[in-house]
């Protein structure tokens, strides 16, 4: 700790002004940084048609890439969460983004590397080397992607007071949608205008090289703009964020941190309830995102073009839902994000029932209103679970707690993907709608279990 950090007067107007500046600088820098992680993750989906056409890679192989990437990412979120709680978040996030950029550069050069490995530019040996190299590279990228969110959780809990975290972290959470939206637009332009010939052969490679270049520059920006904690710039730590363990005397720093993890994370039932509930939040969210176009086309008679726009508007409504849920949590529920989640999941369940019951002959505006309302409600918990976990685990274990909730979130793809598809295929869309409704109510029940919990795990909270 610096001398200025020790002597800074927390009550002075100058200190408050400097703190507010650094707080918003941190929020904006991490928003941009996390959006750039999406640049080197969600670019794959836009490149897939080109890879299939140019390289002859099957949909099954591409699907395996996506599945393995998602599973590894979920596990990586947990591991990186534990590391981010004890390492410098500034270096951690910047380095992680730079490594993701390098993995994307390597992926774009996959054809050349596979030819060098196999010793031939085509043929079975080349194809096997190509699929193996691309698969391994994308799995590695999935692991490195896990270094994106945990440092943000640590940084935000060090720079934002617990009673303001829901509002400001909900603003921060829009970085997910911003990053995903911008990279889709960028890669859509690349696929339509780059490459060679009328079919734009090779354009898919630029979907990795250009976003990787932007991400690499972004990693330099993160290093320049971020600071790990307030004490790094001579400011006092946040008031009301003291963490006292039951037994700490005579323990080393690492032993104290392990004790903290046991008390605030691993043996904290609230974290596991949040993780359990988050599983069902993501089942509902991914069911609509992944199956929405197909569901709308086959059960409501919506055209291909309109179904895509409807799902996009579902995502946009979700951004509004995040912001409103965060504001309402701090304004009316005194930071108790889990209570907001109860109301949001109830709203999502009611909207799912309405979506199920709307006839195919209903006007488009009615379908749009219900689908957007579903997005509005389900994205509230999607943002608030991370906030609640960070507050319950405190700033010293926020990243680890979010690692656990992240595992539950991405494990949900087993239900929203294969499970939902199986139900729709063998029992029809009516049962698929019912499954979504049941999942929403189970998620609401999970949040109800912690209704009486405090807003956070800090000692000063009454």
So what's the architecture of 3-232 in CATH? Up-down Bundle (1.20)
Q: Tell the residue number behind the tokens 């099954």, with chain if given.
A: 60
Q: How many other CB atoms are found less than 10 A from the CB of residue 229? A: 19
Q: Do domains 3-232 and 259-448 have the same CATH topology?
A: yes
CATH number of 259-448: 1.20.1250.20
Q: Which residues of the chain have pLDDT under 50?
A: 1-7, 461-462
376, 317 Cβ separation under 8 angstroms: yes
Locus of tokens 């499970």: 419
Q: Could you give the CA distance from residue 122 to residue 130 in angstroms, rounded to a whole number?
A: 10
Neighbours of 78 (CB within 10 A): 19
pLDDT at 2: 41
Nearest to 144 by CA among 83, 55, 198: 83
No. of helices (H) and no. of strands (E), the chain: 19, 0
* pLDDT at residue number 351: 98
Strand, coil or helix: what is 196? strand
Q: What single string gives the DSSP state of each residue in 272-305?
A: HHHHHHHHHHHHHHHHHHHHHHHHHHHHH---HH
User: Which residues, including other chains, have CB under 8 Å from residue 450's CB and lie 6 or more apart?
Assistant: 270, 273, 274, 338
pTM value is 0.81
Q: Residue 32: is it exposed, middle or buried by C-beta count within 10 angstroms (0-12/13-18/19+)? A: middle
H-helix or E-strand spanning residue 420: helix 420-427
Q: How far apart are the C-alpha atoms of 251 and 127, rounded to whole Å? A: 55
What is the C-alpha to C-alpha distance for residues 243 and 251, in angstroms, rounded to an integer? 15
- Terminal-residue alpha carbon distance, the chain: 29
DSSP readout, 41-53?
TTHHHHHHHHHHH
Residues 6+ apart with CB under 8 A from 185: none
**CA neighbor of 295 nearest in space, from 181, 423, 167:** 423
Any idea where the domains of the chain sit in the sequence?
Answer: 3-232, 259-448
pLDDT tens sequence across 192-247: 888 777 777 888 999 999 999 999 999 999 999 999 999 999 999 887 666 666 65
């Amino acid at each position: 700790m610096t001398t200025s950090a020790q002597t800074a007067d927390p009550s002075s107007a100058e200190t408050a002004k400097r703190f507010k500046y650094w707080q918003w600088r941190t929020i904006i820098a991490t928003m941009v940084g996390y959006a750039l992680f999406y640049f080197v993750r969600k670019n794959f989906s836009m490149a897939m048609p080109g890879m299939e056409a140019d390289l002859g890679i099957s949909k099954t192989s591409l699907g395996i890439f996506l599945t393995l990437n998602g599973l590894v990412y979920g596990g990586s979120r947990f591991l990186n969460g534990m590391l981010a709680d004890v390492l410098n978040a500034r270096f951690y996030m910047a380095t992680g983004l730079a490594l993701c950029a390098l993995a994307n550069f390597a992926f774009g050069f996959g054809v050349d590397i596979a030819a060098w490995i196999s010793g031939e530019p085509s043929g079975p040996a080349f194809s096997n080397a190509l699929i193996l190299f691309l698969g391994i590279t994308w799995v590695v990228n999935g692991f490195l992607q896990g270094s994106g969110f945990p440092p943000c959780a640590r940084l935000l809990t060090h720079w934002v007071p617990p009673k303001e975290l829901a509002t400001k972290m909900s603003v921060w959470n829009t970085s997910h949608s911003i990053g995903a939206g911008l990279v889709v637009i960028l890669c859509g332009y690349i696929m339509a205008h780059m490459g060679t010939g009328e079919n734009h052969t090779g354009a898919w490679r630029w979907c990795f090289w250009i976003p990787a270049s932007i991400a690499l520059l972004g990693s330099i920006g993160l290093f320049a703009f971020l600071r790990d904690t307030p004490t790094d710039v001579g400011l006092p730590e946040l008031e009301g964020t003291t963490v006292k363990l039951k037994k700490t005397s005579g323990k080393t720093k690492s032993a104290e941190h392990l004790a903290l993890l046991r008390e605030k994370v691993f043996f904290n039932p609230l974290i596991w309830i949040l993780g359990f509930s988050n599983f069902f939040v993501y089942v509902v969210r991914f069911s609509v995102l992944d199956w929405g176009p197909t569901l709308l086309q086959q059960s409501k008679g919506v055209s291909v073009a309109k179904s895509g726009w409807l799902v996009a508007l579902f995502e946009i409504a979700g951004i509004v839902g995040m912001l409103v849920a965060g504001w309402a949590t701090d304004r009316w529920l005194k930071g108790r994000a889990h209570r907001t989640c109860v109301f949001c999941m109830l709203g999502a369940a009611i909207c799912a029932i309405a979506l199920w019951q709307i006839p195919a002959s209903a006007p488009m505006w009615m379908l749009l209103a219900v689908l957007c309302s579903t997005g509005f409600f389900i994205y509230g918990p999607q943002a608030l679970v991370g906030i609640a976990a960070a507050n319950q685990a405190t700033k010293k274990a926020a990243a680890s707690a979010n690692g656990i909730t992240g595992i539950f979130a991405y494990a949900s793809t087993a239900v929203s993907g294969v499970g939902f598809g199986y139900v729709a295929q063998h029992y029809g869309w009516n049962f698929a709608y019912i499954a979504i409704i049941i999942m929403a109510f189970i998620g609401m029940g999970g949040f109800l279990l912690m209704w009486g919990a405090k807003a956070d795990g800090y000692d000063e909270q009454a």
